[in-house]
Structure 1
Amino acid sequence: MSAGQDRHVVDDGDQRWQVRRITGEAAEKAYRCPGCDLIIPSGKAHVVAWDDSGDGEDRRHWHEGCWNARHRRRPGHFR
């Protein structure tokens, strides 16, 4: 597993997530964070998460702080 693929499962009680931390070196593209609706630039470390019961097609790239605050920073609830 590469440095950009520290993958683990997070259990939120009502949902389980597959979570992978992406290093800055492994972040090759820019993504829009669903927590704040801002761009995560290429080269910026961040978190990728998807529903544990899915196939990963629903994965989203989050700023680490937005992921940590996901219970109050869900899509449509920008603060």
Structure 2
Amino acid sequence: MPRRNQSRRRERGGSSARPPLSYTGVFSTRIERGDGFDPGAEYSVRDVPGAAATKIYRCPGCDQTIPAGLPHVVAWRTMPGGEEDRRHWHKGCWNARRTRTVTRRWS
């Protein structure tokens, strides 16, 4: 005897598999002042929601991985070609960047 909820899904044309998460939102960028090494530098900062975080990154603030699906921050220097050198940070590590040293350099 089939389970009742499965037969109803088939009648409505639905499937039991959940669709993959996708994110089509717009990212807003803000400008913030420097870090512990260069307090006068300006950085473009963008918050990445968990649904848009599809890859694994390594945070330069704590040298730990940022798993896929975890909300985090992307930052790069506001100078020509600076976007090519963007880094993904944990939100807490980015907020504490002025009070502790960075374990990975910006290269």
TM-score if structure 2 supplies the norm length? 0.64
Q: Does 1:38 align with 2:64?
A: yes
Q: Given that residues 30 and 42 in structure 1 are in contact (C-alpha distance below 8 angstroms), is that contact kept between their aligned partners in structure 2?
A: yes
Q: Does 1:59 align with 2:86?
A: yes
> As a proportion of its length, which structure holds more strand?
1
- Kindly tell me the number of residue pairs found equivalent between the two proteins: 75
Q: Does 1:2 align with 2:25?
A: yes
Give the residue type in structure 1 aligned to 2:103: P
- For CA contacts below 8 A with separation 6 or more, give which structure has more relative contact order: 1
Q: Percent of pairs identical after alignment?
A: 47
RMSD: 1.7
Give the corresponding residue for 2:9.
none
Ranges in structure 2 where 5+ consecutive residues have no aligned partner: 1-23
> As a proportion of its length, which structure holds more helix?
2
Three-state SS of the structure 2 residue aligned to 1:20 is strand
Q: Does 1:74 align with 2:102?
A: yes
Greater Rg over alpha carbons, structure: 2
Ranges in structure 1 where 5+ consecutive residues have no aligned partner: none
| Matches of 2:62 and 2:47, distance apart in 1 | 18
Per-residue deviation, 1:47? 0.1
